[in-house]
Amino acid sequence: MISKKCEEILEYFNEILPNAKCELNYSKDYELVIAVMLSAQTTDKRVNEVDKELFSKYDSLEKLNSASEEDIEKIIRPVGLSKNKTRHVKGIVKSLIENFDSKVPEDKELLMSLPGVGNKTANVIRIELFKIPEIPVDTHIERISKRLGLALSTDSVLEVEKKLRKKFPESTYIKFHHQMIHFGRYKCKALHPECEGCKLIKYCKYYKKVS
């Protein structure tokens, strides 16, 4: 049974963010895997800029597999952590070719066997490519969950995910995930959130502190 509070959150998100969706650009399944991995500690906008160059220069798994680490690192440097991320790009491509017949697996454990793919990244891939209900918790979702009292300030990312799964119907997971990200990215920001006019301030711990 969904609580009144969670119902109000869903209603508000459906009102202000009815069409929220993934903002990473990709045209092939492996491109999404690489894009999500590259998005760690940077913005989707920056990843899209980098990926446009990377995937136009190397437009297949085979070409990426034969690309030099030096050239990949040069292209993806703007996203930060370029040495590690370059190794992950090469490792993902190699594993997909050698272990998965060049296709991105649907199974979560298999996804997490790919270099640089953790729980959150695997969940994003399962949502986006396979429409499997998941709630990947990024920094935006963690922040909003804690501000709205959906999780404790001391909860880990995995604990936040578990609590959201219990509080919201599975049928809402995918849309809710995108709405939470957009809400955190454009309205309930880490610094200077736009509280004016927000219908959720009665639940918001941040608002209570600053008001």
Give the pLDDT of residue 115: 96
Domain locations in the chain? 4-20+135-210, 29-130
Summarised one tens digit per residue, pLDDT across range 62-89 is 999 999 999 999 999 999 999 999 999 9
Among all residues, which ones are annotated catalytic? 120, 138
pLDDT interval class at 209 (50, 70, 90): confident
Summarised one tens digit per residue, pLDDT across range 17-48 is 999 999 999 999 999 999 999 998 899 999 99
pTM above 0.85, yes or no: yes
The alpha carbon torsion through 168, 169, 172, 173 (nearest 10 deg) reads 70
The alpha carbon torsion through 190, 191, 197, 202 (nearest 10 deg) reads 60
Average pLDDT of the segment spanning 121-125: 96
10 within 8 A of 168, measured Cβ to Cβ? yes
CATH code given to domain 29-130:
1.10.340.30
Q: Mean of the per-residue pLDDT values for the chain?
A: 95
Identical fold at 4-20+135-210 and 29-130? no
Query: Out of 3.40.920.10, 1.10.533.10, 1.10.1670.10, 1.10.10.10, which CATH number does the structure's domain 4-20+135-210 have?
Result: 1.10.1670.10
